C-alpha cells in the first residue's frame, strides 16, 4: 500500500539532493575549506618533476611540498630525472633521504640523450603512476618524449592529476606546433596551476580552453628567515641565472650610465654565455664596479641578500621570481620588471616595478634607491609584510585543496 510522503521526508530529500550547499553557514564553509578532507581513495601521491632536483626551482619546491603532503597524511613519492640536462650524466648517489617521502631516481647510465633513453624514463614514470592514487606533475613548458609517454598513459589512468607550470613562454625553450599540440592533449580536462597572473596570460594565449580550470598558486618561501639586521656590504645584488631573458645586459648598460658609482654591482648565478657578459662589462668600462661570483649555494645567496643595499631583477621574462620574494622577506627593497613579480610587488609601496627592457626607467629607479636611504628602508619594511602570505604551509594547503577537488580560495 502506497503512502504520501510526509513533510519530514520531503525535507530530507530536498537536503540530500538540493539543499545541502545552501544550508551551510558561511562560517562552516570557511572551516571546511580550511581543512580539506583527504579522499579515501587518495593516499599515495606522486610528485613528478620534469627537471632534475639539481634545478634550483625544483630543489626548493618538491622537498617542501613533499614535507607538507606527508604531514597531511599522504604517502608521498618524489620522482625526478637524474641529470639536469635530460639523462646524459652517469648514475650518481642521490643526496635526498626519505624524511619527506620516498625518492625515485628516474633514468640511469646512458651515453647520450637518445630516444630510447627517453622512452625508458617515460616507462619508469608510468610505472610510478600506476602505483599512485593521484599525481602532481611539475613542468617548465617544454614537451619531451617523456611527457608524450605520460600523456598517453594518463588517458587510461582514472586518477586525479594536478599539473603545475613553473615556467612557460621562456624564449630559450623551443615551442613548435607539434609541442603545443602534445601539451594540449596532456592538459585537456586537467586541473592546471601557474605561479602568477603573468604566467596565466602566457598559458591562456596558447591554451584558451584552460580558462576555467587554470588556477594561480605561487611558490612559497621559508618565512622563518630573519630580516636584515642593519649590517650592509656596500653593493647591489642581482641573484639570477645570467641569461638574455633575465635582462642582465640591460642592467649592465644602466649601471655603466650611473655617475658616480658609489656601490658595486654583484651577480650570483650561472652564466648562460659567460664570455659575453664579462666581455660586455669590460667594454662598458665597469672594471671593479662589477663582480661575477658565479653560482653560489642558497644559504650563501641569502647571506648576500642580507648584506646588500637592495636587489635588482630586470628580467625580460619571469614566470614568478622567487629570488625577489626571498629578498623581500629579508627586508630588502627590490627593483623588478613588470612580469611575474607584479603579483607580489606593489610599485612604490613594497618595491619598484619597471617595464621589461626599459633602460632609462631602470637607470632612474637604481639612481633613486642609491640616493634615498629612507625610501629603501620604507620599501624594505613594506616588503616584509607583503611576503608573509607566501609561507609553504599556505601554498601547500592550496595545492591540497585542488588535489582533494576543492578550488583554492
Query: Are 158 and 306 a contacting pair, CB within 8 Å?
Result: no
The pLDDT value recorded for residue 380 is 95
Tell me the CA distances in angstroms from 199 to 8, 81, 253, 295, one per residue in order: 51, 25, 28, 26
Positive or negative: CA dihedral 146, 148, 151, 153: negative
CA distances to 222, 298, 309 from 34, in Å: 21, 32, 39
Contact between residue 319 and residue 198 where contact means Cβ atoms under 8 Å apart? yes
Domains of the chain: 44-220+391-403 (3.40.50.2000), 235-389 (3.40.50.2000)
* Residue 102 near residue 129 (C-beta atoms within 8 A): no
CB 118 within 8 A of CB 144: yes
| Calpha distance 284→187 (Å, rounded) | 46
Residue 158: predicted pLDDT: 85
Going by the DSSP 8-state scheme, the letter that residue 80 receives in this structure is E
State residue 32's pLDDT score. 38
pLDDT of residue 148: 84
Phi, psi dihedrals of residue 136, rounded to the nearest 5°: -125, 105
pLDDT score, position 67? 87
Please give the C-alpha separations between residue 60 and each of 63, 136, 273, 340, in angstroms, as whole numbers.
6, 16, 25, 18
Task: Give residue 12's pLDDT.
Answer: 52
Mean pLDDT by 10 residues, the chain (409 residues): 53 46 38 42 84 77 88 86 45 36 51 55 84 91 83 87 94 86 92 96 96 94 67 88 91 92 91 76 90 90 94 96 95 97 97 96 96 95 94 92 69
Are 328 and 350 within 8 A, CB to CB?
A: yes
Distances (CA, A) of 53 to 64, 87, 144: 12, 13, 17
The whole-number pLDDT of residue 364 equals 97
Number of residues written out for the chain: 409
Do residues 143 and 168 lie in contact, with contact meaning Cβ atoms separated by under 8 Å?
Answer: no
Amino acid at each position: 500500500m502506497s503512502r504520501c510522503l510526509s513533510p519530514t521526508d520531503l525535507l530530507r530529500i530536498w537536503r540530500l539532493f538540493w539543499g545541502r550547499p545552501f544550508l551551510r553557514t558561511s562560517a562552516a564553509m570557511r572551516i571546511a575549506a580550511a581543512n580539506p578532507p583527504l579522499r579515501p581513495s587518495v593516499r599515495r601521491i606522486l610528485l613528478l618533476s620534469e627537471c632534475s632536483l639539481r634545478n634550483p626551482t625544483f630543489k626548493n619546491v618538491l622537498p617542501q611540498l613533499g614535507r607538507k603532503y606527508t604531514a597531511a597524511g599522504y604517502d608521498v613519492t618524489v620522482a625526478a630525472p637524474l641529470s639536469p640536462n635530460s639523462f646524459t650524466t652517469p648514475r650518481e648517489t642521490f643526496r635526498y633521504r626519505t624524511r619527506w617521502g620516498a625518492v625515485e631516481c628516474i633514468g640511469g647510465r646512458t651515453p647520450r640523450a637518445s630516444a630510447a633513453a627517453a622512452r625508458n624514463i617515460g616507462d619508469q614514470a608510468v610505472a610510478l603512476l600506476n602505483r599512485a592514487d593521484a599525481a602532481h606533475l611539475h613542468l617548465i613548458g617544454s614537451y619531451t618524449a617523456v611527457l608524450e609517454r605520460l600523456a598517453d598513459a594518463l588517458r587510461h589512468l582514472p586518477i586525479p592529476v594536478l599539473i603545475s607550470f613553473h615556467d612557460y613562454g621562456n624564449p630559450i625553450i623551443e615551442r613548435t606546433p607539434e609541442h603545443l599540440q602534445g601539451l594540449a592533449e596532456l592538459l585537456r580536462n586537467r586541473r592546471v596551476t601557474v605561479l602568477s597572473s603573468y604566467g596565466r596570460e602566457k598559458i591562456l594565449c596558447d591554451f584558451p580552453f584552460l580558462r576555467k580550470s587554470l588556477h594561480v598558486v605561487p611558490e612559497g618561501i621559508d618565512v622563518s628567515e630573519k630580516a636584515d639586521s642593519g649590517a650592509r656590504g656596500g653593493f647591489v645584488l642581482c641573484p639570477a641565472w645570467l641569461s638574455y631573458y633575465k635582462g642582465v645586459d640591460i642592467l649592465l648598460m644602466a649601471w655603466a650610465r650611473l655617475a658616480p658609482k658609489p656601490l658595486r654591482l654583484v651577480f650570483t648565478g650561472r652564466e648562460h654565455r659567460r664570455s659575453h657578459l664579462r666581455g660586455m662589462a669590460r667594454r662598458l668600462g665597469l672594471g671593479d664596479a662589477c663582480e661575477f661570483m658565479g653560482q653560489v649555494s642558497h644559504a650563501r645567496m641569502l647571506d648576500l641578500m642580507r648584506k646588500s643595499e637592495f636587489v635588482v631583477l630586470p628580467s625580460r621574462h619571469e614566470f614568478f621570481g622567487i629570488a625577489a620574494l626571498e629578498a623581500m622577506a629579508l627586508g630588502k627593497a627590490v627593483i623588478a620588471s613588470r612580469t611575474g613579480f607584479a603579483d607580489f610587488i606593489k610599485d612604490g609601496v613594497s618595491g619598484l616595478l619597471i617595464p621589461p627592457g626599459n633602460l632609462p626607467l631602470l637607470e632612474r629607479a637604481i639612481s633613486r634607491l642609491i640616493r634615498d636611504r629612507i625610501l629603501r628602508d620604507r620599501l624594505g619594511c613594506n616588503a616584509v609584510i607583503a611576503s608573509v602570505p607566501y609561507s609553504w604551509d599556505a601554498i601547500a594547503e592550496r595545492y591540497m585543496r585542488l588535489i582533494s577537488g576543492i578550488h583554492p580560495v
